[in-house]
C-alpha cells in the first residue's frame, strides 16, 4: 500500500456564480433582509425604493408550507400605491441550497416583466441560506 501525502494546500471549493458568502453580505442584505427569514419556513420580502434609493415599503409574504411562497395582490398594491421605482425581491430556502429552482427563475422573469410594464425596475432577487445568499443580478440572470 502506498501512502500519498497532499502537496500544497487544498483548493478552494468552486465559486458558484451569483453566490455571496455570509461574511461578504452588504448592510441591506445582512441587517434589513436576513432578520426577516425563519430557518424552518420559506417567506418572501418585497422591498420598494423611491427615486432617491430610500426604502419606502417592505412587504412580507409568508409561505403556506415549508416549501412555497405566494405573493398576494395586496403586497403588490401596497408597493404600487407608495410610488416605488425599484423593487428588491428576496426569499429564503430553508433547505440550505442557495441555487434557484425552476420556479424561482420563472417567478423572477415574470415579476421583472410585470414591473417593467409598470415602469418599475426589479433591482435583484436574492435567495437567502444560512451560509450566504444567491443574487440573480450577480449571476447575470436578471
pLDDT in tens, 58-87: 998 876 554 556 788 888 888 888 889 999
SS3 label, residue 73: helix
Burial environment of residue 41 by CB neighbours within 10 A (0 to 12, 13 to 18, 19 or more): middle
Domain ranges within the chain, ordered by starting residue: 19-64+72-135
SS3 label, residue 107: helix
Total residues found in the chain within this entry: 142
Q: Which residues contact 74 (CB under 8 A, 6 or more apart)?
A: none
Q: Which CATH superfamily is domain 19-64+72-135 in?
A: Cytidine Deaminase, domain 2 (3.40.140.10)
pTM score, whole prediction: 0.83
Q: Which three cell numbers stand for residue 66?
A: 415549508
Q: pLDDT by residue (tens digit) across 116-137?
A: 999 999 999 999 999 999 999 9
Amino acid at each position: 500500500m502506498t501512502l500519498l501525502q497532499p502537496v500544497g494546500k487544498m483548493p478552494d471549493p468552486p465559486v458558484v456564480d451569483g453566490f455571496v458568502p455570509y461574511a461578504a453580505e452588504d448592510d441591506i442584505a445582512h441587517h434589513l433582509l436576513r432578520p426577516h427569514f425563519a430557518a424552518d419556513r420559506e417567506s418572501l420580502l418585497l422591498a420598494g425604493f423611491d427615486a432617491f434609493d430610500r426604502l419606502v415599503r417592505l412587504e412580507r409574504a409568508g409561505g403556506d408550507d415549508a416549501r412555497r411562497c405566494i405573493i398576494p395582490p395586496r403586497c403588490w398594491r401596497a408597493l404600487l400605491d407608495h410610488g416605488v421605482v425599484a423593487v428588491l425581491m428576496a426569499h429564503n430556502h430553508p433547505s440550505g441550497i442557495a441555487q434557484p429552482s425552476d420556479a424561482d427563475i420563472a417567478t423572477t422573469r415574470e415579476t421583472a416583466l410585470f414591473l417593467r410594464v409598470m415602469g418599475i425596475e426589479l433591482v435583484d432577487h436574492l435567495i437567502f441560506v444560512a451560509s450566504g445568499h444567491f443574487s440573480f443580478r450577480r449571476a447575470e440572470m436578471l
